[in-house]
Amino acid sequence: MPSLTEISPDQHAPPRTKGPELAVIVPTFNEHDNVIPLVDRLQAVLGGIDWELIFVDDNSPDGTADAAWDLAAQYHNVRCIKRLGRRGLSSACAEGILSTNAPFVVVMDGDLQHDESILPAMLAKVRAGADIAVGSRYGGEGSSGEGLSPIRQWGSTLATRLATLVAGQELADPMSGFFMVRRDLFVDVAPQLSAEGFKILLDLVVTATRKGTAPAIAQVPYVFRPRHAGESKMSPLVVLQFLGLWLSKLSGGVLPTSFLLFALVGFSGVAVHLTVLWLLTSVVPETFLLAQVAATIVAMTWNFFLNNSLTYADRKLHGAKLWTGLLGFYVVCSMGGVANISIASMIYEARPAPLIAGLAGALMSSVFNYAVTRIFTWK
């Protein structure tokens, strides 16, 4: 890998009389060893184009931002936004895009998995009138090459099908993290985009379509490469966040992703509750009431920690706030439990259908718990 001093400043960039035409947005988390090779490669393919590079780093512990700022000291067209106290790929991309006035922006991973050599072709597409040019791993001769494990390959295919369903148009690779877009289109839909998860392209297409006109999308195939250095941040959490986003889009955005995740967590809590109850009562059958109390506490604790790292990953509580948050959560959920029972018995009195009454009670308490903890616990 070349060292900083081996890279000569870019003397071939066209003279700057106005802002750049293309902004390359690179979200980073622990990509220290990748930033120099990335700039090298961009230099090699973007000759003759007036471009800038914006790293958006979420305070990576490995010092990625320092490495990016070192580069910024050498190149007039490189800068780095360092965000404190926040995490998230989608929101990092949005912030980078909103920090430039280049008419075209491209989002690209910082780990060299995206093939930069297709950038001129993508630019040609948007210059020619496409709203979005997607770097597609499946379309045409593009493929996911060596970059994905079989499990991820399968998950990716499934996600592609689900995504095409909500996007309203056929997309070869709606899960792509590599796409170029007209800046004004992005700015227009940005307020409605979800800040959570990895799937900003899908969100962009669906949101723009719902606002009126389906964006004209061009696809440019490429081969997804293995990661250069460091580790992937893809996790089960990211997958669940994707499912939440998908359901939210399917509901026409009426149900927020966080509510759907909250409800999903609630469901898992019911399973935990019943398991604990069953275990305790099969050991000591006489103590049903005590077992029920214990199961409730275990399930509430489970729900709290799962919501803290999944539903509210972007505002996760730590340290003392974690414990006061847990206590507050117990209080809110107990109130939710009272709401559940009162609504259910009210409905049952009017019409003795236990299933409907039970469901209405459960729905009432989840909406209540969601709304109140959103205000007091995860503000």
Instruction: Name residues contacting Mn ion, limited to 310-329 (CB under 5 A).
Output: none
Least Å distance, CB 137 to Mn ion, is: 12
329 is a contact residue toward ligand GDD (CB under 6 A): no
> What count of other Cβ atoms lies within 10 Å of the Cβ of residue 322?
13
Tokens 């912030």: give the residue: 95
170 CB neighbour count, 10 Å cutoff? 10
Give the residue at shortest CB distance from ligand GDD.
177
CB of 320 to ligand GDD, least distance (A): 24
**Is there a contact between 102 and 22 (Cβ–Cβ < 8 Å)?**
yes
User: Sign of dihedral through CA atoms 187, 193, 194, 196?
Assistant: negative
DSSP letter at 219?
E
Q: At closest approach, how far in Å is the CB of 91 from ligand GDD?
A: 8
Which of 316, 306, 307, 366 minimizes the C-alpha distance to 336?
366
DSSP secondary-structure letter at 308? I
Q: Is 92 in the site for ligand GDD (CB under 6 A)?
A: yes
Q: Which of residues 213-242 bind Mn ion (CB under 5 A)?
A: 227
Query: How far apart (Å, rounded) are the C-alpha atoms in residues 350 and 259?
Result: 29
The residue with tokens 């979800």 is 194
- What is the Cα–Cα distance from 42 to 48, expressed in whole angstroms? 12
Q: By CB under 5 A, is residue 64 in contact with Mn ion? A: no
Interface with ligand GDD, residue 241, by CB under 6 A? no
Q: Cβ 111 to Mn ion, closest distance in Å?
A: 4
Task: Select from 280, 326, 274, 335 the least CA-distant residue to 303.
Answer: 326
**In the complex, what is the shortest distance from the CB of residue 299 to ligand GDD, in angstroms, rounded to a whole number?**
30
* Contact criterion met (CB below 8 Å) for 325 and 376: no
| By the rule CB under 6 A, 96 interacts with ligand GDD | no
Using the contact rule CB under 6 A, the part of the chain among 12-20, 27-35, 208-216, 290-298 near ligand GDD is 27-35
175 contacts ligand GDD (rule: CB under 6 A): yes
Taking CB under 6 A as the binding criterion, the range among 45-53, 229-237, 250-258, 323-331 that sits at the site for ligand GDD is 229-237
Q: Which of 31, 52, 95, 111: binder of Mn ion (CB under 5 A)?
A: 111
Give me the sheet containing 179-182, strands edge to edge: 78-82, 51-57, 22-28, 104-107, 179-182, 132-136, 217-221
Task: Tally DSSP H helices, then E strands, for the chain.
Answer: 12, 7
Q: Interacting stretch for ligand GDD, rule CB under 6 A, among 7-15, 231-239, 257-265, 284-292? A: 231-239
Contact letters for ligand GDD, residues 189-218 (x by CB under 6 A): ---------x--------------------
Pairing of strands 22-28, 51-57: parallel
Does residue 113 interact with Mn ion by CB under 5 A?
A: yes
- Positions in the binding site for ligand GDD (CB under 6 A): 27-29, 31, 56-58, 87-89, 92, 109-111, 113, 156, 175, 177, 198, 232-234
- Positions in the binding site for Mn ion (CB under 5 A): 109, 111, 113, 227
